[in-house]
Amino acid sequence: MSTGHDDWGLRSVPPELVERYVAEGLWRDETLGRFLMDEIAARPALGVKIRSARRPWAGTFADVLEAARRLATALGARGIGAGDVVAFQLPNWVEAAVTFWASALIGAVVTPIVHFYGAKEVDYILRRTNVRALVTADRFGHQDYLATLEGLRDAAPALELIAVVGDGPVPSWGAPFDRLLDTDPLGAPSRVDPSAPALVAYTSGTTADPKGVVHSHRTIGFEIRQLAGMQQGNPPLLVGAPVGHAIGMLSGLLVPILRGDPINLIDVWDPGAVLAAMLEDDVAAGSGSTYFLTSLLDHPDCGPAHLKLMSRIGLGGSPVPAAVTERMQSLGISAVRSYGSTEHPSTTGSRHEEPAAKRHYTDGHPLQGVELRLVDESGDEVGTGERGEILSRGPDCCVGYTDPALTASAFDPGGWYASGDVGVLDEDGYLTIVDRKKDIIIRGGENVSALEVEEMLLRMPGVAEAAVVAAPDARLGEHACAFIRLTEGAGRPGLDDVRAHLQRVGLARQKWPEELHIATELPRTASGKVKKFVLRDRLRQTAVAGAVKRDAD
């Protein structure tokens, strides 16, 4: 059986780290399949509920596991097993859980694909990851997945099985998903090396193609335990982040199993529908990227009963403005900020019992097993209170990328991961993210922090969201351009209004935006983070209608 990933850029974890993580119990010999089988067997009656206009579903852990065991048998009958890659491109439907769990049971490498990825991204993933089996929806929203696959399937050399979830006819080259379940359930999970790849999580960024982040059974197993520990005392969560992305996958398909919570998923993030579901099912919502929380708080249906369910919220996955945590505090919501990435999911964080000043204005301290270094452009460590690029390593850090060049550029021989994020450590060891290296605007040779400007813009009445990026400037090289999304009913500000506000809050004049765009929506990743590279591309390629421009004084 060929694993098909000999050309991936997997790194060797330094032996001293392996020894330490094993000795401290951070790394175990438990595989993802063994974890699922054992934990679900301990709480089979817990509920699984899918909120969807098209494919609603309700059942139990045991029901989903039974279907997963049947799918595992069907995959095995087709010669797909340990080390092979099984991908799925599905909304937050029960079939996503069935496919994920089934793949883990046979020791396959699970590869979720964000449901709104198009032909370019899917083609790259199928080829780069050597996918042997793909489970896909027939359609969802504006996406016609079958039409996309019609032109891609023959170009993916390893692809042998395409299973289709849907209500209509299935092409001759596909297999109806439900028919794959007409078989006997798998017995015990496959035995695989716990250091072997278990998951490839694709993440979009500034690269032309999505980055395939590879996690082993040990790294993802520790991450599940790390997240579950951080969420102690929190109510069950309604998850709207796509399960095709790391945040939705972990919080929707894995962490609830260890916490002993029911699984609640919704396939379209409609704030009004989410608020109604919270009251109906007595679940929390709004954790993750700040967008998920603020979209609920800004909705007219949000009331005291919702705030009570949101009394403990964890924010991360994108920058967390202080204006947001201050607003939460005024509403009686306890907020904790955390920092991580698909590569190193839980790097820093806080608990609700820690001081409010640390929870609201920093991104927490290094979590269990995590080490941090902040370095300057020369690679030398910076002091307390000084800015530096964040290097991290820990038991939940990935084992590389599917692209060897990315692995070589992001990891050094000591296992340190170069995040590309810029942070500051205070005297108590708490980290604050102050910028992304790629988001720094170099205006006439002076660095301007996009995050600092965004923080100030969010304090302007009527501004719901702000994204500041570098725009080309013939005289200065770059200048700051602000994209803002307004709250419902807010008046449309002009550039003079923005500058007057920034003067009132004391932001230095040279940092003021020199270009302003009002946006009804901002382009987002699956985790809710604004795709700044899309905004930068727009500015480079064409002038946006309605932009307001003025030379700086």
Query: Got the DSSP string for 332-360?
Result: T-EEEE-B--SSSS-SEE--TTS-HHHHH
CA–CA gap between residue 508 and residue 516 (Å, rounded): 17
For 437-442, which contacts have Cβ atoms below 8 Å and span 24 or more sequence positions? 437/389, 438/206, 438/532, 438/533, 439/468, 439/469, 439/470, 439/532, 441/468, 441/469, 441/470, 441/478, 441/479, 441/480, 442/470, 442/477, 442/478
The pLDDT of residue 4 is 59
In a domain, 512, yes or no: yes
**Which amino acid appears at position 75 of this protein?**
L
CA–CA gap between residue 242 and residue 249 (Å, rounded): 7
121: domain CATH number is: 3.40.50.980
The pLDDT of residue 322 is 83
Q: Are residues 432 and 504 in the same domain?
A: no
In a domain, 257, yes or no: no
In a domain, 465, yes or no: yes
The angle subtended at Cα 308 by Cα 40 and Cα 317, nearest 5°, is 60
Q: Are residues 384 and 524 in the same domain?
A: no
In a domain, 2, yes or no: no
376: domain CATH number is: 2.30.38.10
CA–CA gap between residue 191 and residue 205 (Å, rounded): 35
Q: Are residues 435 and 449 in the same domain?
A: no
For the sheet containing 47-51, what is the strand order? 57-60, 47-51, 263-266, 238-239
Q: What is the pLDDT along the chain (553 residues), one digit of tens a residue?
A: 345 577 898 999 999 999 999 999 999 999 999 999 999 999 999 999 999 999 999 999 999 999 999 999 999 999 999 999 999 999 999 999 999 999 999 999 999 999 988 888 899 999 999 999 999 999 999 899 999 999 888 888 899 999 999 998 999 999 999 999 999 999 999 999 999 999 999 986 545 578 999 999 999 999 999 999 998 888 899 999 999 988 899 999 999 999 999 999 999 999 999 999 999 999 999 998 888 898 999 999 999 999 999 999 999 877 787 888 999 999 999 999 999 999 999 999 999 999 999 999 999 999 999 999 999 989 999 999 999 999 999 999 999 999 999 999 999 999 999 998 999 999 999 999 887 777 778 787 677 888 889 989 999 999 999 999 988 876 777 889 999 999 988 999 999 999 999 999 888 788 899 999 999 999 988 778 888 888 988 887 754 444 444 433 3
529: domain CATH number is: 3.30.300.30
In a domain, 344, yes or no: yes
Q: Are residues 497 and 517 in the same domain?
A: yes
Q: Are residues 102 and 128 in the same domain?
A: yes
Q: How many domains does the chain have?
A: 3
Q: Are residues 466 and 530 in the same domain?
A: yes
Q: Tokens for 35?
A: 């974890």
Of 384, 415, 439, at which residue does a domain stop?
Answer: 439
The angle subtended at Cα 268 by Cα 262 and Cα 274, nearest 5°, is 60
Of 405, 439, 473, at which residue does a domain stop?
Answer: 439
Q: Are residues 507 and 416 in the same domain?
A: no
Place of tokens 């200048």: 479
Q: Are residues 530 and 428 in the same domain?
A: no
Q: Are residues 88 and 207 in the same domain?
A: yes
The residue segments making up the domain with residue 140 are 62-217
The pLDDT of residue 142 is 87
The pLDDT of residue 424 is 96
Of 439, 457, 478, at which residue does a domain stop?
Answer: 439
CA-based nearest residue to 450, from 321, 290, 316: 321
Q: Are residues 415 and 458 in the same domain?
A: no
In a domain, 526, yes or no: yes
Q: Are residues 117 and 189 in the same domain?
A: yes
Instruction: Give the other-Cβ count within 10 Å of 545's Cβ.
Output: 6
CA–CA gap between residue 322 and residue 442 (Å, rounded): 24
CA–CA gap between residue 364 and residue 182 (Å, rounded): 49
Q: Are residues 370 and 502 in the same domain?
A: no
